[in-house]
Amino acid sequence: MKNELRIVNENVLKLAAEVAVIKKILMGRGDEEGELSDWARNSLMDARKESPSEFVSLDELEKEIKNGICD
């Protein structure tokens, strides 16, 4: 029983370390590759300003692609 608990504890500690690494990557701490470029940041801000009435549905986009309308 003690041996099993030790193994479980080791596994939990390994998982905690792996989660910490994943969290660091996702949060972008110390990793500039996780940062948005100025272009991407500006495009995102512009997209967020759009009214939902201007959105294009997936069905409509598929139709435009099939008909060669989309540039």
Residue 46 pLDDT: 92
Enumerate long-range contacts of 16-20, CB under 8 Å, 24 or more apart: none
Contacts of 30 (CB under 8 A, 6+ apart): 24
Element (H, E) at 22: helix 2-27
Higher-confidence residue of 3 and 27: namely 3
Q: How confident is the model at residue 34 (pLDDT cuts 50, 70, 90)?
A: low
Residue 29 pLDDT: 54
Residue 4 pLDDT: 87
Tens-place pLDDT, residues 40-49 = 899 999 999 9
Residue 36 pLDDT: 79
What's the angle, vertex CA 24, arms to CA 44 and CA 22, rounded to 5? Answer: 100
What residues does each domain of the chain span? 2-67
Return mean pLDDT, the chain: 84
Which of 17, 39, 5 lies closest to 47 in space, CA to CA?
39
